[in-house]
Structure 1
């Protein structure tokens, strides 16, 4: 059975961290993955700062002998690299480097069961604090968050808000206000005269659930009808089937659609053209994430969460905790939310200055 890119990259990173340095060809043999695929994944990991590659070999980024002797070490757990969290990582790296600290990356492959093991490995490496983007969903039991509340080092949650009744609520958090981001998209489309707006969204990530909730709340606030959500991103849902559903929206009087995320939105555009649906003539399309929405044909209007700012703010907050917050009980716990922006492009039908 094939594995996802995130799972492959998590396995590659774990193997490199174990070996320290290894040739790409040998790494491919050890993991049983084609060398061309390993090279592509290593390139993505290198771009994210997780590994260093040189002359056919790959090694741990920021080896111990290159680590600043006077700066703290921060562990960062993300569910994947290559898309959304690349920019979060980049923001954290800049903040950490500017403070003379050291960042260690772990990847958990969008599987909640992998989170705790990855964190344990970060702690064994000697990190002084943790930046965590765990794989939480609203349907999870509260006890799935309890282990975070038991961590003995300063911890900041990244792009996650813990349940209020969870012990994890006692930790700092920095996240994008995705509900506000959805409201921006709905308000903009409404201002263009689009009064029936559908949502295409996943179910498999924390952000997807925030987008779904934001859609329901935003429609109620703006006096719009919340249409049945078109599910995407599930293994049993084919892209062509999703395109069939979206292509039928104009005939039902629905003239706009918000798609989470960029990848799904960009894949959808040519499929709509093949079905005779014009974007934005028949259907305005707005994407959520703005990782590569501008590369769509037409370029996609997109909600842009402040990904780099989230990473930087979380790292700076953790550094404050490490450098005195733990010894200062008067420093309050902070749950920080940063507002997304709307990047207006051709796909929504608005004129661009």
Structure 2
């Protein structure tokens, strides 16, 4: 006989009343119900105020459990060591301020194993999730058939530096990210103000952010009345590996200068920082002959010369996502989903010439 959700939840409440604080995994074993189903039921009971969750355990609300200040938040990122270090730092600072604990999971860009990593975080007993899925440009769109599990998560989740396509399974999740299209507009508007009528874009094509940068470029060029130029791929077309080729990019920029092009936006810092010496070999100096702006502002200030850069608000994105998730855990289940975009800033240094007053 099929057991209804109401019957399952009544059984869960009875076990908690009998035993006091109980681990979610033990509840599942005791009741003979799949752990994912128990987590979903526990989340519903917590949202209704009938249970309090803490560190993978549940108790009655009047048992003295300080739920808000004893929560564990799982965070899934595609990499550490660059852009996401600052996002993680922002989330960790916000978690510490709220008395919560952050647990990290990494699903590398190459592995595409988001779901497996999320299952591991759930098994560790997290109360909520911050998720940066490995969505790639060219996924049609973002593999919607593979997203159903995002809509079935047993705990609240917030997308970080990702925004789901309308109509996809993840579209109704909360999301906090940078407005990368606005960031590109800032860079191109600054270069146009310095007198450039053409700005090249050299960009990767293998990440979600790169896709947003390319889209922002396509929108900003006609908006600012700039000349249209093809995007230069950081990965040389036809190359046997998918590794950025700065030599190839430098040669493409050098050839474009023969057509009067004197300004380039490069995504990302790691690739942009390699270009000035390669351009110098080809007789081009930065900024005297070529104005250069990078995107991300992770390493840009360390270049020679220091690179003007678009700086997404990485720490603020992490903090805002963590705070939104805590509000959702505090009984915000009935609120509409929030899609929050924070605006990048332009950090003007010496690589594009001018003093930033344009």
Listed one character per residue, the Cα deviations across residues 129-188 of structure 1 (whole Å, up to 9, x for unaligned) are 000011112421322333211211100000000001102011000000000000000000
Tell me the residue number matched to 1:340: 344
RMSD across aligned positions (CA): 1.8
Which whole-Å CA distance do the structure 2 matches of 1:237 and 1:316 have between them? 36
Tell me the residue number matched to 1:128: 127
Listed one character per residue, the Cα deviations across residues 112-131 of structure 1 (whole Å, up to 9, x for unaligned) are 63111100000000000000
1:310 to 317, 327, 330: 317
Listed one character per residue, the Cα deviations across residues 31-80 of structure 1 (whole Å, up to 9, x for unaligned) are xxxxxxxxxxxxxxxxxxxxxxxxxxxxxxxx99xxx9851110000000
Superposed, 1:278-297 pairs within 5 Å as: 278-297=285-304
Shift of 1:237: 5.0
Indicate how the Cα distance of structure 1 residues 131 and 236 shifts in structure 2: closer, same or farther if over 3 A, else same.
closer
Q: Secondary structure at the match of 1:157?
A: strand
> What are structure 1's unaligned runs of at least 5 residues?
1-62
Number of aligned residue pairs: 285
- TM value normalised by structure 1: 0.78
Q: Secondary structure at the match of 1:209?
A: helix
1:231 to 205, 228, 233: 233
Which whole-Å CA distance do the structure 1 matches of 2:163 and 2:147 have between them? 11
Which whole-Å CA distance do the structure 2 matches of 1:319 and 1:116 have between them? 22
Which whole-Å CA distance do the structure 2 matches of 1:352 and 1:186 have between them? 13
1:249 to 256, 259, 268: 256
Shift of 1:308: 0.2
Tell me the residue number matched to 2:179: 177
Q: Secondary structure at the match of 2:75?
A: strand
2:332 to 316, 319, 325: 325
Which whole-Å CA distance do the structure 2 matches of 1:97 and 1:226 have between them? 47
Q: After TM superposition, where is structure 1 displaced by more than 3 Å over at least 4 residues in a row?
A: none
Superposed, 1:145-224 pairs within 5 Å as: 145-224=147-226
Q: Secondary structure at the match of 2:265?
A: strand
Shift of 1:292: 1.3
Listed one character per residue, the Cα deviations across residues 250-279 of structure 1 (whole Å, up to 9, x for unaligned) are 112111000000000001111111111111
Contact 1:112 1:136 in 2 (8 A): no
Contact 1:112 1:134 in 2 (8 A): no
